[in-house]
Each structure stands twice: as C-alpha cells, then as structure tokens.
Structure 1
Amino acid sequence: MTGTPNKTPIHIVHTEASLGWGGQEIRILTEAAGMIRRGHQVTLLCPPEAKIFTEAKTRNIPVVALPIGRKNFSGLLAMRRWLKANKADVINTHSSTDSWLVALASVGLSHPAAIVRTRHISAPIPDNASTRWLYKSATQHIATTGELLREQLIKQNGYSPSQITSVPTGIDTEHFVPGDKTTARETLNLPQDAKIIGIIATLRSWKGHQYLLDAFAHLADQNTRLVIVGDGPQHAALQTRITELKLNDRVTMPGNQLDVLPWLQALDIFVLPSYANEGVPQAILQAMLCGLPIISTPIGSILEAILPEQTGLIVEPKNAQQLQEAINRLLLDPELCKVLGSAARARAQEKFGLEAMLDKMEVIFNNAATHG
C-alpha cells in the first residue's frame, strides 16, 4: 500500500483477546504510544484479566476492559455495544478471537469502522468460506510482521497482494544500543569472568528453549552461563529439564523484565532457536541493535533480519547438535562475534527503526479510514 500519512487525527482502536504477554502485545502498546505522539486518538479494547490491560494503564494508553477473551455471545454483545456507542475510524485487530468478534459485531452497523488485521505469526490460516469472508470481505487491509508472511497469504490463501502490507516491528534505535558489559553484569549480579549466552522470549514450546538447554549442556567450555529471560507456560517444564541436565548452577531464569536492555548488554551471544510461528521477532531486532552475535533458525520472517554468515548464524530448527556447534564456533572466534554483531546493528538501524513502522501503519490506517 502506498501513500503519505494524512496529518488529520483519526481514532484508532486496537483489539487484543490474548491474555498472554510477548512481542505481539509489546508491539501493540509501542505502536499505540507512537500514534498518540503523532496526534491520533487511540483506544485499546482487551479482557480485564489480560496483562496488556495493566501494561496499557502503566504506559498511559487509554484502555477499556471488555469480556473478549473467548469467542462467545457475551463477548460479541459487549463488542457490539461498544462499537455502537463509540465512533472509531479504524479498528486494528490482532488475534483470531477479537478479529471474529469485531467483524461480526460490525455487521449491520450504520457507519462501521474499517478493519485492519495485523498478522504477527506464520501459523497457516484455514482456507474455508467463513475465514475467507473474515479476511477478504470484512477486513479492509492486512498488515503482516514480515514479507514472508505476506507472501504466504498471497500464495497459500489467494489473497490480493494489494490488500496486504508487510510492516516489520519497529524498535527504538535510541534505547537499544551496545553498553558496558561489566556494568551490566554488575547490576544484574552476573559473573564477570564467564561467557554468557542468552535468550529473551516468552516461555512457549515453539521458541525452542528445550533445544537450547540440550545444546548448552554439551558445550565443551564449562565456564559458560545461560540466561533465560521471560515467563510463560513452559516455565515448570524448563525448570525440570534444567534439573535433569544438572544445570541449576549455570542457568539463570529472572522471569519477565520491564526493560531487557541491561540483560542484552550483559550477553556475549544471543540465541533464539524457534521452530514455528515467527514473524520478525522483536528480541532478535533488539539484540541486533545491541551489537550481539545471534544464532537463530530460518522460521517465519527471521531471515529478513538475519542474513546467514553476515548478520548472524542460522541452524536447523529442533537441532540441538547444530545449535551446540554454532555456539561453540562463536565462543572460539571473538573476531567473528564482532563482525556479526557490528553488521547486525547496522542492518537493524537501517531496516527496523520505530519511525519506519509508524510511518507504514499510519498510511494503512489513514487509507483504511478514508476508503472504508
């Protein structure tokens, strides 16, 4: 989609049914805050028990609690009542449940808002009549978090290329910068003399933590530490696996962190061995901006950020042996780490800045509001 941002303020409504916390929710709040700074009115609709509800209040983003965590009649009625009582120019939906509730609740409204659907992950979309109605008729435009996700919808689902725009998540290039490793480790009570490998991700199975643990357990260099930042449904299973591998004294799990910057600045190597459902992960972009050497997999749109052997190393998904070899390679080659980290930072600064994301989404929102 092309065009220039319309400077007339519009009312952008974000909906999110998910109760979880990860890159998707962080992007919604970051984007919302950016649009508010640009003079637009922004409202977030989400379940009251969702973490994003509390985080939105903390960040001074207007938020309304609605019972939209499930696809049911009460959620549909609540959504329709809100839409009838409040004028919105565009509604940006983010998960399956809220997308369906918004689309169905909008049917028959005298002046329905244009619907923009953001696809954050690479999971396939069902090809049936109801889903085609949702995406091709009820939704005016689709934003994906990577070009590969866009191509997937065009090739596999037959959606019109003109209806879909790839908008990678933008990262604050002024906040995420290389820092003093000694200071960061001192602040976080991490050892100064060890090589520290880290992952920042919601503890979901498909993020590949278990393969990272298996690879880490078999490293030749025992003077290494692993930091697993985040929380999620796999927390107990990962703790059990750490105990089984006898790694309790070498693995740190600090949980979710309000600011991950010091944790990134404390690392020597960043790893994200996902095997499904990725767009362009924010954690990878943050690590790139911090100048870290990165190891990841060719899942989703990760290769739009990581150029193999140029800005990082790529291994097969679910392959602990390859992951171990890649980590060993970086541990033994400090010069390669510097080269990869420097190139990664340059690429992230050029391609994945916050303002670029806001520019693209502003065009999408304004065009949808104008032609909806």
Structure 2
Amino acid sequence: MSQTRFLLAAAVAKLRLEPPSHASARTPANLRYQRTRSLSGSKHPAMAQATGSDSMDTPAGHEGCGSDAKPLSPPAGAFSVVARQSWSPRWHGNGFGRGDSKPMPDSLRIMQVVLSLAPGGTERLVIEICRRLAPGVESVVCCLDAAGEWANELTSLGIPVHALGRAPGFHPSLGRAIARLADRYHVDALHCHHYSPYVYGLVATLLGRGPGLVFTEHGRLSDQAPSRKRRRINPLIERFGGEIFAVSGDLKRHMVAEGFSDARISVVHNGIDVGPPVQPEDRARARRELALDRSHFVVGSVGRLDSVKDFGSLIDAFAFASGTRPNWRLVLVGGGPEEEALRHAARARGVERKVVFTRFRADARRLLPGLDLFASSSIHEGLSLTILEAMACELPVVATRVGGTPEAVADAQTGLLVPPRAPQALADALLALAASPERRRAMGCAGRLRAIQHFTIDRMLDSYLTAYRRQARVSAVPAVAV
C-alpha cells in the first residue's frame, strides 16, 4: 500500500477503531511490532535537567574579544514561531484528536522520534533537548532503526530509549508501535526529527489517542532536485495537523518546493551551549592532544566522513594552499564510510603527513581551540552545529555557500563563503585568512558574538517548548463536532 493510500485509510479507519487501552499498551510484548525494545529499565522517564545558563541577550564572557564588537544583523530566514497558530483539525468522537477530553496537564511528556542515536548533528541536538528541557517536561525517545551508540547518554539519566529495528520499505505497523508507546507513556506530543519519523509519527497520531505532533526537518542528504513523490504526498499529509519547522530558511524553501505550504512552516535555527570564552590553556591542551605545537598553522573540520561533507574537496584545497608550507596541518575530526578514500586522497595529493585523522571523538569540541581556522566543504547543510560551535570558540570560518550556512556565517564578517565543489576557491579563502592574523581574530570575535545573539540553545528550546505546549493543549481540548 502506498504512503498516500495508507494515510487516507488510516484517517477513515480512525473513525471506527477504538484506540488501544492503557492496560493493553503498558507491556512491551503487547506492541504489535515485535522488534520494539526499551533500553531503560525505568517505567517512566526521569525529570529532564534544567536549562543551561548561557544567555541569548547579553554577551557575557565576551570581553576577551574587545568592547568594540558590534551586534550583527539577525540571520536571514529567521521567523517568529510564538504567534504562529497550529493547524490541527479535530473531529467529533473518535475523529482526529482524543475521543475523551482531559484538562491541560501541569507537566508535559514529550516523545522524541528519530532515526537513531548514532553519532551525528541531529542526534546530538535531540540529546541536548532531552537533557535541557525545563523542569516538569519529561522525555522518552523512540528510534525507528537501531538505538545507536549515544543512547546510553540518555538511559543513564533515566530517559527511556526504544528501538523499533525498522526493516527496508514502508511498514504501517511502525506507526501502530509508536502509537502504543505514546499511549503507554501518556505522551502529550511527538517531536519527529527528519521526514521518515514525521510520516510514521503522523500515522501514530491518527491510530492512537491523538498526541500533538511537532516535525522538524534538519537537512537534506544531497543537493538533488525536490522529490516528485513528496510533492504529491506532502500537500495531503500536512492537512492532518501538527506544527512544522525547518532549521534554516533555505531548508524551508526546499520543503515548499517539495509540496509543503509556506504558511505551515516556521524556522527555528539550531542552538548550542555557547560556553565560556576560550582560554590560552584550552588551546595548549588541544594542541597537545593533536600532537601539534605552537608553530603549526592548523585548519580543521568536524563531521561524519561521508559524501555530503565532501571532505575530498577540502583535502584538495588544503593541498593547493599548503604547497611548500611545512608547518600547515589539516585536522579532520570524525569517522565514517569515506575515511579510507580520504586517506588515499591525502596520499595521492602528497599531504598524507600533514593531515590528521582523529576518527570519531565524542568530545570533538575540546579540539576546536587548537585550530586557527575552521573549514566546511559540505555540498549541503541544514544548519551545522559544528560551525556554530567553531564560532563560539572564536574561530573564523571558511565554508561553502550551501543550505543554512549563509544564515550562520556572515560573509566577510565572521568568515568567508565559497561555492561548493570548488577546491581552488576554498584554497584561496584559506590563504587569504592565513595571511592576516588580525583579520582572523576580528572574525572570530564577531562570530562568537553572533552565536551568543542568535544561536543559543535556550532560544531554540524556548521555541520548541512553546510548540509542545500548544500541541498539548490541542490534544487535550474537548472534541468539537463539525
């Protein structure tokens, strides 16, 4: 059955199917999709930790960059989400929404629906959301695929993580499994990250007791044209309610090209814990860990070593720029399927001894103070957390002008933007900044200020928490006859 036909069938079936009872939904063995398993022994999620202390208004700790730094303009594509109203059609009785009404809860329980918790930017963001939501907001995580290496970070806090072990293809039973998990934990809203979790989360809201729905699209896997299939499906499925977000204005435009309505999408930029300013001892420690010293000029990047990051172009650019400069080094922090090919490329370009592969590092941010420049060669980005973290560490950024990157990096102010798949242009930008320590320092200070003003995790969490509360209210109001 196609996704479109299934969603229509689910909507009709919803009118005559009783939702699963609480009694039958509490035992994992009762889940129809038998691969479901919990990675936590606790029956209920623990209280999430309180929000961190970094401020989006006052650039505390920025004194090291000088007092003449001026605020930069807001990132392009920024939209307010506080005033946007939710489209959530409610049908009478067992239609859309809960058949029985309940009062607005004093606390919230949110299920984060993801592909997995394998190392990656989206996964790190989901973990931070779970850890930092305000007191009274509890979390549970549902992974469509395997749980992933980072699941233990949440289970160690008492936050349940369930892995559904999805097989290839479209499986309506996954939607039922999510619905039963949501009912088991009395979930107020689902927050689905990426498109597949959104589709299954939507099915779950139709088949279950009607928790609210929040969908965030984080990025694209390639720079290919919008999918024709999604252009047909998306105008239909967006009518079933929920709130839709993109992490950048560029990604919102791509979603509109794939059939979503412009008015249905709000932009919430990713946010980070900016942290305190980098100190000289941080730089010295990072260089020791990288086996580098003060004489080296270090270009670095952080990310999964896969084709969308196009680290091959970065190695080519580094080879062009470093030339006969023996003190230049390139540090690539991350692991992935392209590692061997990239090592071969470094050998072929004659820079094997200048390129440092650290493989995956859970503490990758600790290495950023050891860099002189941060470089991103991606062919597409939603809104890169590593770029934001580099800005927070007062690093100038050289990056490709793709996705949401121009919304983070102010060209010629906090870094330089170049075309994608253009190693020579990337090399020229590296050389331009290498030649001017003063310019690098000014860009680094401006970048940190920009991160503080526009890209804090508190600002992002405030937007999502507002959406959670709206969706919880929508799912809790009495049904209205139409």
How many pairs does the alignment contain? 365
Q: Could you say if the C-alpha distance between residues 139 and 253 of structure 1 is closer, same or farther in structure 2, counting changes exceeding 3 Å?
A: farther
- Tell me the equivalent position of 1:178: 278
Between stretches 240-249 and 53-62, larger displacement belongs to 53-62
**What is the DSSP-based 3-state SS (H/G/I as helix, E as strand, rest coil) of the residue aligned with 2:345?**
helix
CA distance in 1, matches of 2:295, 2:474: 59
Contact 1:225/1:250, CA 8 A, preserved across alignment: yes
Q: Could you say if the C-alpha distance between residues 208 and 91 of structure 1 is closer, same or farther in structure 2, counting changes exceeding 3 Å?
A: same
Runs of 4+ in 1 over 4 A off after TM superposition: none
**What is the DSSP-based 3-state SS (H/G/I as helix, E as strand, rest coil) of the residue aligned with 2:356?**
strand
Q: TM-score, normalised by structure 1?
A: 0.90
CA distance in 2, matches of 1:334, 1:7: 55
CA distance in 2, matches of 1:218, 1:302: 24
Contact 2:374/2:397, CA 8 A, preserved across alignment: yes
CA distance in 1, matches of 2:336, 2:241: 31
Q: Could you say if the C-alpha distance between residues 64 and 20 of structure 1 is closer, same or farther in structure 2, counting changes exceeding 3 Å?
A: closer
**What is the DSSP-based 3-state SS (H/G/I as helix, E as strand, rest coil) of the residue aligned with 1:217?**
helix
- Tell me the equivalent position of 2:155: 57
- Tell me the equivalent position of 1:338: 441
Determine whether 1:95 maps to 2:194: yes
* Equivalent residue for 1:9, pick from 94, 107, 111: 107
CA distance in 1, matches of 2:273, 2:199: 32
Higher relative contact order (CA 8 A, sep 6+): 2
Q: Which amino acid aligns with 2:454?
A: K
**What is the DSSP-based 3-state SS (H/G/I as helix, E as strand, rest coil) of the residue aligned with 2:304?**
coil
Displacement of 1:259 in angstroms is: 1.6
Determine whether 1:192 maps to 2:294: yes
Determine whether 1:310 maps to 2:413: yes
CA distance in 2, matches of 1:354, 1:8: 24
CA distance in 1, matches of 2:214, 2:205: 13
Determine whether 1:205 maps to 2:307: yes
Q: Which amino acid aligns with 1:92?
A: H
Displacement of 1:318 in angstroms is: 0.3
Bigger Cα Rg: 2
CA distance in 1, matches of 2:231, 2:444: 44
Q: Which amino acid aligns with 1:217?
A: A
* Equivalent residue for 2:247, pick from 145, 170, 184: 145
- Tell me the equivalent position of 1:79: 178
Displacement of 1:186 in angstroms is: 1.9
- RMSD after superposition: 2.3
Displacement of 1:215 in angstroms is: 0.8
1:232-311 matches, within 5 Å, as 232-276=336-380, 278-311=381-414
Q: Which amino acid aligns with 1:262?
A: R
Residues 213-271 of structure 1: CA distance to partner in whole angstroms, max 9, x if unpaired?
00111223231011000112212221221222232211111112122232100000000
Displacement of 1:347 in angstroms is: 0.6
CA distance in 1, matches of 2:394, 2:443: 8
Residues 86-137 of structure 1: CA distance to partner in whole angstroms, max 9, x if unpaired?
321110111333222222233243x211111110014646544433333x12
1:8-27 matches, within 5 Å, as 8-18=106-116, 20-27=118-125
Q: Could you say if the C-alpha distance between residues 314 and 14 of structure 1 is closer, same or farther in structure 2, counting changes exceeding 3 Å?
A: same
Q: Could you say if the C-alpha distance between residues 268 and 69 of structure 1 is closer, same or farther in structure 2, counting changes exceeding 3 Å?
A: farther
Contact 1:67/1:78, CA 8 A, preserved across alignment: no
**What is the DSSP-based 3-state SS (H/G/I as helix, E as strand, rest coil) of the residue aligned with 1:107?**
helix
Q: Which amino acid aligns with 2:396?
A: P
Displacement of 1:56 in angstroms is: 2.6
Q: Structure 1: 5+ residue runs without aligned partners?
A: none
Identical positions, percent: 26
Q: Which amino acid aligns with 1:237?
A: A
Q: Could you say if the C-alpha distance between residues 39 and 85 of structure 1 is closer, same or farther in structure 2, counting changes exceeding 3 Å?
A: closer
CA distance in 2, matches of 1:263, 1:52: 20
Q: Could you say if the C-alpha distance between residues 95 and 331 of structure 1 is closer, same or farther in structure 2, counting changes exceeding 3 Å?
A: same
Residues 265-290 of structure 1: CA distance to partner in whole angstroms, max 9, x if unpaired?
000000001112x1220000000010
**What is the DSSP-based 3-state SS (H/G/I as helix, E as strand, rest coil) of the residue aligned with 2:353?**
coil
Q: TM-score, normalised by structure 2?
A: 0.71
Displacement of 1:348 in angstroms is: 0.7
1:350-365 matches, within 5 Å, as 350-365=453-468
- Tell me the equivalent position of 2:126: 28
CA distance in 1, matches of 2:371, 2:340: 24
- Tell me the equivalent position of 1:166: 267
Contact 1:20/1:50, CA 8 A, preserved across alignment: yes
Q: Could you say if the C-alpha distance between residues 38 and 19 of structure 1 is closer, same or farther in structure 2, counting changes exceeding 3 Å?
A: closer
Contact 2:195/2:217, CA 8 A, preserved across alignment: no
- Tell me the equivalent position of 1:43: 140
CA distance in 2, matches of 1:330, 1:369: 49
Q: Could you say if the C-alpha distance between residues 73 and 370 of structure 1 is closer, same or farther in structure 2, counting changes exceeding 3 Å?
A: closer
Q: Could you say if the C-alpha distance between residues 44 and 69 of structure 1 is closer, same or farther in structure 2, counting changes exceeding 3 Å?
A: farther
Determine whether 1:104 maps to 2:203: yes
Residues 325-364 of structure 1: CA distance to partner in whole angstroms, max 9, x if unpaired?
1111111111111111111111111111111111111111
**What is the DSSP-based 3-state SS (H/G/I as helix, E as strand, rest coil) of the residue aligned with 1:117?**
strand
- Tell me the equivalent position of 1:225: 329
Displacement of 1:182 in angstroms is: 2.3
CA distance in 1, matches of 2:199, 2:337: 25
CA distance in 1, matches of 2:290, 2:348: 26
Q: Structure 2: 5+ residue runs without aligned partners?
A: 1-80, 85-103, 476-482
Between stretches 335-344 and 98-107, larger displacement belongs to 98-107
Contact 1:67/1:75, CA 8 A, preserved across alignment: no
Q: Could you say if the C-alpha distance between residues 211 and 59 of structure 1 is closer, same or farther in structure 2, counting changes exceeding 3 Å?
A: farther
Q: Could you say if the C-alpha distance between residues 287 and 314 of structure 1 is closer, same or farther in structure 2, counting changes exceeding 3 Å?
A: same
